Amino acid sequence: MNELATIVATATPLVYATIGEMINEKAGVINLSLDGSILLAAMVGFAAAVASDSVIIGFLAAIVVSVAIAALVAFSSIELRLNQIAVGFVLFLLARQLALFFGDSYVGQVGPKVPAWDIPLLSDIPFLGVVLFRHNLSVYGSYVLVIAAFFVIYKTRIGLVLQGAGERPEAAFARGIPVNRLRLLATVTGGALVGVAGAAVSLDQIAGWRENLTTNLGWIALAFVIFGGWHPFRVAIACYVYRGLLFVAGQFQEELPEFVQVLNTLPFLLMILMLTAVNTQWFRRLGDNHPRWRNFLASDPPSAIGTVFARD
Amino acid sequence: MMLRLAQWRTALVSLVLAIGITLLLLVLVDAPPLEALRLLWDGSFGSDTKIADTLMAWVPLVVAAAGLLVTFQAGLWNIGVEGQIIMGAIGASWVARSVTGPSWLVVIAAFAAGIALGVGWALVPGTLRTVFRVHEIFSGVALFFVAGGLAIYLIIGPWSRAGIASTSGTDPFPTASWLPTIGRLRLSIVAVVVAVMAVVAVAVLLRGTRYGLRLKAVGRNPASAFLMGIATSRSMLSAFAVCGALGGIAGTVQAIGFHHKLVPSISGGYGFLGILVVLLAGFRTAWIAPIALFFAAILVGSTQLSLRLQIDSSLAGVVQGVLVLLILLTGGWQARRTRIAEAEAET
Residue of A25, A83, A261, A280 to mutate when probing chain B, most B C-beta within 10 A: A261
pLDDT digits (tens, 9 = 90+) for A47-72: 999 999 999 999 999 999 999 999 99
Q: Is B329 on the interface with A (CB under 8 A)?
A: yes
Cα(B241)–Cα(B239) distance, integer angstroms: 5
8 Å CB contact of A97 and B314? yes
Instruction: Say what the pLDDT of residue A161 is.
Output: 93
8 Å CB contact of A269 and B318? no
8 Å CB contact of B133 and A90? no
Q: Is A96 on the interface with B (CB under 8 A)?
A: yes
Instruction: Say what the pLDDT of residue A258 is.
Output: 66
Q: What's phi and psi for B134, nearest 5 deg? A: -85, 125
Residues in chain A: 312
- H helices present in chain B, as ranges: 2-28, 33-45, 48-73, 81-98, 103-132, 136-156, 189-208, 210-220, 222-227, 232-252, 270-280, 285-309, 315-346
More confident residue, A123 or A140: A140
Q: How many residue pairs bridge chain A and chain B with CB atoms within 8 Å of each other?
A: 121
8 Å CB contact of B149 and A262? yes
Instruction: Say what the pLDDT of residue A249 is.
Output: 83
Which residue in chain B has the smallest CA separation from A35?
B141
What dotted CATH number matches B2-16+32-346?
1.10.3470
- Angle between helices B136-156 and A260-278 in degrees, nearest 10: 160
Residue of A21, A92, A93, A100 to mutate when probing chain B, most B C-beta within 10 A: A93
pLDDT digits (tens, 9 = 90+) for A184-201: 999 999 999 999 999 999
Dihedral sign (CA A163, A89, A246, A15): negative
Average pLDDT over residues B148-169: 85
Residues in chain B: 347
Cα pseudo-dihedral A21, A24, A30, A31, rounded to 10 = -60
Cα(B107)–Cα(B99) distance, integer angstroms: 10
Q: Quick one: which of B298, B326, B274 has its CA closest to B84?
A: B274
Cα(A10)–Cα(A239) distance, integer angstroms: 10
pLDDT digits (tens, 9 = 90+) for B40-78: 899 899 999 999 999 999 999 999 999 999 999 999 999
In this model, does residue B20 exceed pLDDT 50? yes
In this model, does residue B2 exceed pLDDT 60? no
Number of domains in chain A: 1
Residue A200 lies in a domain: yes
Q: Is A93 on the interface with B (CB under 8 A)?
A: yes
Q: What single letter denotes the amino acid at residue B124?
A: V
Average pLDDT over residues B313-338: 91
In this model, does residue B1 exceed pLDDT 50? no
Residues spanned by the domain of A76? 2-110+118-215
Q: Quick one: which of A235, A231, A238, A269 has its CA closest to A152?
A: A231
Residue A262 lies in a domain: no
Chain A closest CA to B112's CA: distance in Å? 27
Question: Which residues have CB under 8 Å from A135's CB, separation 6+?
Answer: A5, A8, A9, A116, A117
A216 chain-B contacts, CB cut-off 8 A: 145
Instruction: Say what the pLDDT of residue A312 is.
Output: 55
8 Å CB contact of A85 and B29? no
Chain centroid to Cα A291, Å, comes to 28
Instruction: Say what the pLDDT of residue B306 is.
Output: 83
8 Å CB contact of B134 and A280? no
Q: Quick one: which of A267, A273, A162, A81 has its CA closest to B149?
A: A267
8 Å CB contact of B317 and A264? no
DSSP class of B178: S
pLDDT digits (tens, 9 = 90+) for A88-128: 999 999 999 999 999 988 998 999 999 999 999 898 898 88
pLDDT digits (tens, 9 = 90+) for B122-155: 999 999 999 998 999 999 999 999 999 999 989 9
Mean residue pLDDT across chain B = 92
Q: Is A222 on the interface with B (CB under 8 A)?
A: yes
Strand partners, B172: none
In this model, does residue A299 exceed pLDDT 80? no
pLDDT band at A77 (very low <50, low <70, confident <90, very high): very high
Residue A53 lies in a domain: yes
Chain B closest CA to A298's CA: distance in Å? 15
Q: How far is the CA of B337 from the CAs of A83, A156, A180, A267, B330, in angstroms?
A: 17, 38, 19, 45, 10
pLDDT digits (tens, 9 = 90+) for A2-22: 889 999 999 999 999 999 999
In this model, does residue B243 exceed pLDDT 90? yes
User: So what's the ipTM on this one?
Assistant: 0.94
- Angle between helices B81-98 and B136-156 in degrees, nearest 10: 30
Q: Do A203 and A55 contact (CB within 8 A), yes or no?
A: yes
Strand partners, A233: none
Q: Do A294 and B165 contact (CB within 8 A), yes or no?
A: no
Q: Give A 13-52 residues with CB within 8 A of chain B.
A: 32
Question: Which residues have CB under 8 Å from A187's CB, separation 6+?
Answer: A24, A27, A29, A31, A70, A71, A73, A74
In this model, does residue B323 exceed pLDDT 70? yes
